[in-house]
Amino acid sequence: MTSEQPNSLPLSGIRVVEFAHMVMGPTCGLVLADLGAEVIKVEPVAGDNTRRLLGSGAGFFPLFNRNKKSIALDLRHPQGLEVALRLVATADVVSENFKPGTMKKLGLDHASLARLNERLVYVSHKGFLPGPYEHRTALDEVVQMMGGMAYMTGRPGDPLRAGASVNDIMGGMFGAIGAMAALMQRGRTGRGQEVKAALFENNVFLVAQHMMQFAVTGQPAAPMPGRISAWAVYDVFTVREGEQIFLAAVSDTQWKAFCEAFGFGDLQADPRLATNNDRVQAREWMMPVLRSRLAGHSAAELSAVFERNGLPFAPITRPEDLFDDPHLRATGGLADLTLPDGRQTAAPLLPITLGGERPGVRSQPPALGEHGAQLLAELGYSRTEIAAMVSANVTVAS
């Protein structure tokens, strides 16, 4: 979906000023922007460092900054700070993800801004919520290690971070949820408030299911690769020509359908395999039998049989393969996106529909300071004043 009008979206009319970089804060802004808010990204005059990342960070800026405007300001310069304060005075939401104390030094912390605008919703994205750890510098990988995620993801004795920035992204999502909740409350009370989201607490929420498993059973959760599965058939199989596919049969009904689909009448009749729990106990000898019997099939053949019988299955897919995923293509889950160097690609949209439509890309990731002159003029600065600020390197005119 790329053609919706901004005023048709639920957050139309909401202005967000974003002091954020990397992933967590920009994810919050992305969610609010995709839902219709006007999100103004305040960047340093050298640009958000995320614009220049290599390797695993090369896609951060174009992914998390669509549907936003950019203004570049030197917040250490009195005039740059003045512009920021004028901009904030027009905002419904301020979002930031800098180290604790940074915004206070600039006079852009919640307490300072709330005195200027009691209706302001202020969202802080941090490593930790207030407490003994709040002074620490956190990264997604740091909190995965200290929060049980890496332990659960890796093999026993080999902690491994998850294969995506799960805490940064989900932490930003919780920041957006908090912002929307605070805006709803403001509608009743007329007052804004501070919202805080944090990487560590987000990670703890993600592993809470394993904490509760221990609380209920008294048994520590084993790392996922070494766990005792709750389901008998729930694994990756290597099949013809070395292809891999995930196959599952997680109920007695599915086991029956699985055996009938492949003609495994002997296994279906085996009393040692009568129930799911029986099959879990029999995995040590049962799984080698299944692996041997399925090894001669191709992944495509197995996919067809499982899909025809309503059984869970999944090809083992690489991220780059998703650009050509027929479901994403057919359902509008990917939208055209222009990279900073001008090349065309596609990007995943928010995983929701509103009225049957996916909120789409209304504007491309902005060039540095692309909207600066326009925004400065709206704030009352003259062309002469804007030119002087550009000459003094207080701002950038794209």
CATH number of the domain encompassing residue 277? 3.30.1540.10
Domain assignment of residue 336, yes or no: yes
Domain end, chosen from 290, 319, 348, is at: 319
* Percent of the chain surpassing pLDDT 90: 94
Are 166 and 185 in a shared domain?
Answer: yes
Are 70 and 165 in a shared domain?
Answer: yes
Q: Which residues contact 78 (CB under 8 A, 6 or more apart)?
A: none
pLDDT given at position 8 = 86
pLDDT given at position 226 = 78
Are 61 and 188 in a shared domain?
Answer: yes
pLDDT given at position 135 = 92
What would the pLDDT profile of 171-191 be if each residue is shown by its tens digit? Answer: 999 999 999 999 999 999 999
Domain assignment of residue 218, yes or no: no
CATH number at residue 353: 3.40.50.10540
pLDDT given at position 229 = 78
Domain end, chosen from 285, 319, 353, is at: 319
Q: Contact, 252 vs 307, CB < 8 A?
A: no
Are 185 and 314 in a shared domain?
Answer: no
Q: Which residue has the higher pLDDT, 325 or 398?
A: 325
Domain assignment of residue 362, yes or no: yes
Mean pLDDT calculated for residue range 314-343: 95
Q: Contact, 72 vs 44, CB < 8 A?
A: yes
* Percent of the chain surpassing pLDDT 70: 98
Whether pLDDT at 4 is above 90: no
pLDDT given at position 2 = 45
Closest CA to 195 of 84, 278, 94: 94
8-state DSSP, 182:
H
Domain end, chosen from 269, 296, 319, is at: 319
Q: Which residues contact 258 (CB under 8 A, 6 or more apart)?
A: 233, 249, 264, 309, 311
What would the pLDDT profile of 32-50 be if each residue is shown by its tens digit? Answer: 999 999 999 999 999 999 9
Question: Is residue 224 very low, low, confident or very high in pLDDT (cuts 50, 70, 90)?
Answer: confident
CA 361 vs. chain centroid, Å, equals 17
Structurally, how many domains does the chain consist of?
A: 2
Are 103 and 184 in a shared domain?
Answer: yes
Domain assignment of residue 217, yes or no: no
Whether pLDDT at 323 is above 60: yes
Which residue is listed with tokens 């689909």? 261
Mean pLDDT calculated for residue range 96-110: 95
Question: Is residue 6 very low, low, confident or very high in pLDDT (cuts 50, 70, 90)?
Answer: low
Distance CA 196, CA 95 (A): 10
Whether pLDDT at 159 is above 70: yes
Parent domain of 57 = 6-207+325-391
Catalytic position from the list 34, 48, 74, 168: 168
Whether pLDDT at 279 is above 80: yes
Neighbours of 10 (CB within 10 A): 12
Amino acid, single-letter form, for residue 5 = Q
Percent of residues in the chain assigned helix, strand, coil, to nearest 5:
45, 15, 40
Mean pLDDT calculated for residue range 88-114: 96
pLDDT given at position 1 = 40
Are 179 and 259 in a shared domain?
Answer: no
Domain assignment of residue 91, yes or no: yes
Mean pLDDT calculated for residue range 205-234: 91
Distance CA 236, CA 295 (A): 12
The DSSP string of 64-112 is HTTTEEEEEB-TTSHHHHHHHHHHHHT-SEEEE-PPTTHHHHHT-SHHH
pLDDT given at position 3 = 46
Are 337 and 313 in a shared domain?
Answer: no
Domain assignment of residue 140, yes or no: yes
Domain assignment of residue 223, yes or no: no
- Based on the number of CB atoms within 10 Å of its own CB, is 364 exposed (0-12), middle (13-18) or buried (19 or more)? middle
**Mean pLDDT over the full length of the chain:** 95
Are 308 and 342 in a shared domain?
Answer: no
> Residue 252 — φ and ψ, nearest 5°?
-65, -35
Are 292 and 351 in a shared domain?
Answer: no
Distance CA 81, CA 207 (A): 41
Annotated active-site residue 235? The verdict is: no
Q: Contact, 254 vs 311, CB < 8 A?
A: yes
pLDDT given at position 284 = 93
Distance CA 130, CA 391 (A): 41
> Residue 165 — φ and ψ, nearest 5°?
-80, 65
Domain assignment of residue 222, yes or no: no
Mean pLDDT calculated for residue range 142-158: 96
**Of all helices (H) and strands (E), which one includes residue 305?**
helix 299-308
Are 201 and 349 in a shared domain?
Answer: yes
Are 96 and 191 in a shared domain?
Answer: yes
Are 93 and 172 in a shared domain?
Answer: yes
